[in-house]
């Protein structure tokens, strides 16, 4: 079933990109007035966690590109199941753990930074399912301040909130295996449910199967729809709320797209380059940085970049565009990242 989903995803790319090309000239002209902040003086304001999926590892790199911590993510599904390592990684509220999702392996887990081992896991390795204890292509797991875990369960068309102590689902948005946009009762392939500072969730719906851009929704903890709009992004991925309340989202396409919207769905800022160093290839997430720059995981280009939104130029990069590798300065299809919270301690691992 996972292979079927990936084949479906690949077939859709060519159709959706062709359909979306007509909208790009409008997008560029519509996004002139909004000018987000940014500075190239200190492009990356702190250390960075990278989920280096193709290399089955997590890395923490410094702004001067030293590796100060790393951990292999072993995958162990049934024989014959092809899996990669963690495709997302985010710090937990206590800053002592990292929560990851292994999309290929159908699991999410919490890692102790100090011990470099999993201390909690949910899902059955290599097995998809919708019954309690099972997931189907989980994406973007986060631990909330109350300790519960939120995860987008793409293949089951739902967002789950899980009590980690009991492993019971305490809330669900979407109806299991019903793929349709009618939040909160029904969701269309949600690939992210990112928490906001005000305690709500930004849910991204891919909208597979309909040939047009997907939806971005803001839901309360009880599932109340605070707002919802259709994006202009083909295959929207991991929309999240910026400090000014606007919404940052990427298009998981080639060339890749980065958009900023108002909560009413007005396009405020648009990034799309088709050639050259700045062209993106299937970016999976963009995060706003404290200095106003944008941190972008440029998956299929094997790099993580920082973009100054004022100039739309890349001002920092880890990885080499289009080149996979395991050595210092190289990545292999990175698929997630998070800024290291101040005061987080790592035992140095060299690099």
Percent of the chain residues topping a pLDDT of 70: 83
- DSSP character string of 123-162: EBTTBB-SSTT-BSSEEEEEE-TTS-EEEEEGGGTEEEEE
Which is more confidently placed, 215 or 4? 215
**Residue-level pLDDT at 73:** 87
Residues 348 and 60: their CA atoms lie apart, in Å, by 10
Rounded to the nearest 5 degrees, what angle is found at the Cα of 242, between the Cα atoms of 9 and 142?
60
192: confidence class by pLDDT, cuts 50, 70, 90: very high
181 vs 3, residue with greater confidence: 181
pLDDT tens sequence across 235-276: 999 999 999 999 999 999 999 999 999 999 999 999 999 999
Which range among 38-52, 174-188, 323-337 shows the weakest confidence by mean pLDDT? 38-52
| Each residue's pLDDT tens digit, 159-173 | 999 999 999 999 999
Q: Classify the C-alpha dihedral 164-165-167-170 as positive or negative.
A: negative
- Percentages of the chain per state (helix, strand, coil), in multiples of 5: 10, 40, 50
As a whole number, the mean pLDDT across the chain is 88
Read off φ and ψ for residue 240, nearest 5 degrees.
Answer: -150, 160
Indicate whether 26 pLDDT > 70: no
Pairing of strands 168-173, 190-195: unpaired
Is the confidence at residue 303, as pLDDT, over 70?
A: yes
Task: Please state the rounded mean pLDDT for residues 287-313.
Answer: 97
Q: What are 126-156's pLDDT values in tens digits?
A: 899 999 999 999 999 999 999 999 999 999 9
pLDDT recorded at residue 75: 63
pLDDT at 25 over 60: no
The domains located in the chain, with CATH, are: 2-339 (2.130.10.10)
Within the chain, how many helices (H) and strands (E) appear? 1, 24
pLDDT in tens, 37-46: 555 568 999 9
Residue with tokens 């290839």: 281
Q: Is pLDDT at 74 greater than 50 in this prediction?
A: yes
């Amino acid at each position: 079933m996972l292979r079927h989903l990936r084949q479906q995803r690949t077939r859709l790319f060519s159709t959706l990109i062709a359909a979306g090309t007509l909208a790009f000239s409008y997008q560029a002209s519509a996004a002139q007035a909004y000018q987000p902040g940014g500075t190239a003086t200190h492009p990356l304001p702190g250390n960075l966690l990278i989920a280096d999926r193709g290399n089955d590892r997590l890395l923490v790199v410094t702004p001067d590109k030293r590796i100060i911590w790393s951990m292999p993510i072993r995958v162990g599904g049934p024989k014959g199941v092809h899996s990669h390592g963690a495709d997302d990684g985010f710090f937990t509220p206590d800053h002592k753990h990292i929560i990851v999702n292994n999309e290929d392996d159908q699991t999410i887990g919490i890692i102790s930074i100090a011990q470099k081992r999993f201390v909690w896991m949910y899902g059955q390795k290599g097995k998809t399912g919708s019954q309690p204890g099972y997931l189907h292509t989980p994406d973007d797991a986060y631990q909330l301040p109350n300790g519960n875990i939120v995860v987008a369960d793409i293949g089951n068309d739902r967002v789950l909130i899980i009590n980690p102590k009991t492993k019971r689902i305490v809330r669900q948005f979407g109806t299991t295996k019903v793929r349709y946009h009618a939040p909160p009762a029904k969701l269309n392939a949600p690939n992210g449910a990112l928490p906001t500072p005000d305690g709500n969730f930004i849910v991204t719906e891919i909208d597979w199967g309909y040939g047009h851009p997907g939806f971005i929704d803001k839901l309360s903890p009880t599932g109340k729809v605070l707002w919802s709009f259709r994006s202009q992004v083909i295959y929207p991925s991991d929309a999240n709320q910026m400090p000014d309340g606007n919404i940052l989202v990427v298009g998981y396409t080639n060339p890749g797209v980065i958009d900023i919207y108002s909560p009413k769905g007005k396009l405020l800022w648009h990034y799309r380059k088709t050639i050259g160093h700045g062209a993106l290839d299937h970016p999976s997430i963009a995060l706003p940085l404290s200095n106003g720059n944008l941190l972008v995981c440029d998956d299929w280009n094997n790099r993580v970049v920082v973009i100054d939104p004022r100039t739309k130029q890349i001002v920092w990069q880890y990885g080499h565009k289009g080149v996979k590798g395991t050595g210092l300065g190289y990545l292999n299809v990175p698929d997630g990242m998070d800024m290291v919270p101040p005061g987080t301690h790592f035992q140095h691992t060299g690099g």
